[in-house]
Structure 1
Amino acid sequence: MTRPVATKVAFEDGWKAADTITLDETARYRRRMVMTSDNGVEFLLDLGEARLLRHGDGLVLDDGRVIEVHAAPEKLYRVAAQDPHHMLRLAWHLGNRHCPSQIMEDCMLIRRDHTLRAMLEGLGAAVTEIEAAFDPEGGAYGESHGQHGHHHGHHHD
């Protein structure tokens, strides 16, 4: 028996998931690989290009089933600023270090790194250790992170 193949990602609501697959942010950046769902369905992911699979995306199998992507909790820092201008300064410093960051209205999330924590606290940021799904911004030069541009409105704190 051949394993099913997922060649497209569904973003719209309206499909019913047959199963889920829970992956951290690094494991969600994929193009082609054999994957196993949370309930043991083995399938081949075979997308046209590498992309970040977002929490809530559906991997459409060639047999019609959909495997819903779940973002696994990761060890992160929640970075809060004193005001909007301070947030811009903090974001600039993280961007200058090419640090993947999830930017939200009132904070940023980054992977834990003691050197970055010391820098951010030295700049006046409030840094808190959390465990949450990580969904960083995509790159400006053609990276596929975030190409479909939807958000599911979930919060991480």
Structure 2
Amino acid sequence: MIADHISGNIIENPPKDGKLSVPITFDWFETDKKRMAKVAEDGTEFGVMVGRTIKDGDVLAETDDKRYYAKINTAQLIEIPVSSMKEMGRLCFELGNRHLSLKVEDDRVLVPYDHPTMEYTKKIGFEPHIIEGGFDGFLIVKAHAGSGTIIPGTNKTTGDVAEEEQEAAADEAWKSEHADGHEHGGHHHGHAEHEHAVGEYEVNGVLHRPDGTHSHDGGHTWHKH
């Protein structure tokens, strides 16, 4: 089944139509992916390509008797308390240079847990703590380090390869379902992709050029650090 749009949210607007709500589980770093192959709790296979960040409770597909919704796993986060605007600015500058997804609040910053970041924030004078939490309200950076281990002879991790395989599976599902010009709700859905120029390459969702610039938005804007 293809999930290519979000029709509601069962947390913001609890349904009352008697349909069975079936979760499709996502990890936090999957919520902003363009294409994914997922399996719902009842075993139904999905190609997910909704075109925007998925939130906890988002309704991704419906049948006559079931509603399939996103369930975002909680995970370990680093909570970094701050006591002034000066501290907040310095911390966000340091984290920005590390391409970390984050959530900024009045007196703290939250980032996904990893040991190097934990130790680095201690080194620069902060007092980080590990907590368990969700990812509502996070600014998601696609360049966050890939999970898994580095594959010898490449610049990819096992997590990067798994992500590429998911996207390929979702692409195949979409092509199969739309091979006959299938339309949803009377509207044909086109999916424009960035055409890579000579020398461009993509790593973990970020486009790179030989001159050292990179793009986080599919090639619309480019910059370097």
TM superposition score normalised by structure 1 = 0.70
Paired residue for 1:142? 217
Quote the residue 1:107 is aligned against. Answer: 108
Structure-2 residue corresponding to 1:6: 3
Uncovered stretches (5+) of structure 1, i.e. residues with no partner? 144-157
**Structure with greater Cα Rg:** 2
Q: Which has the higher helix share?
A: 2
Take 2:58 and 2:217, find their aligned partners in 1: how far apart are those partners?
Answer: 20
Equivalent residues, number: 138
Give the AA of the match of 1:8.
H
SS at match of 1:129: strand
| CA deviation profile, 1:20-46 (whole Å, cap 9, x unmatched) | 2222112333333432223x1413234
Higher strand share: 1
Counting aligned pairs with the same residue, the percent is: 21
RCO (CA 8 Å, sep 6+): is it higher in 1 or 2? 1
**How far has the Cα of 1:119 moved from its partner?**
2.2
Provide closer, same or farther for how the CA distance between residues 79 and 100 of structure 1 changes in structure 2, counting only shifts above 3 A.
same
Listed one character per residue, the Cα deviations across residues 91-144 of structure 1 (whole Å, up to 9, x for unaligned) are 11000111121223332211222222222123332211112113430459537x
Q: Per-residue displacement from partner, 1:46-90 (whole Å, max 9, x unpaired)?
A: 4264x4312222212466843221221112211111222201210
Q: Tell me the SS of whatever aligns to 1:92.
A: helix
Aligned to 2:92: 91
Please list, as runs of the form range in 1=range in 2, the aligned pairs for 1:51-70 lying within 5 A after superposition: 51-61=52-62, 65-70=66-71
The answer on 1:128 being equivalent to 2:129 is yes
Instruction: Give the aligned partner of residue 44 of structure 1.
Output: 46
Distance 1:34 1:99, change over 3 A: closer
Consecutive unaligned residues of structure 2, counting only runs of 5 or more, are: 142-214, 219-225
SS of the aligned residue for 1:59 comes to strand
Q: CA RMSD in A?
A: 2.8
Task: Determine if contact 1:18/1:67 at 8 Å carries over to the other structure.
Answer: yes
Distance 1:45 1:30, change over 3 A: farther
With normalisation by structure 2, the TM-score equals 0.51
| Closer, same or farther: CA 15–114 of 1 in aligned 2, 3 Å | closer
- Who is 2:28 aligned against? 25
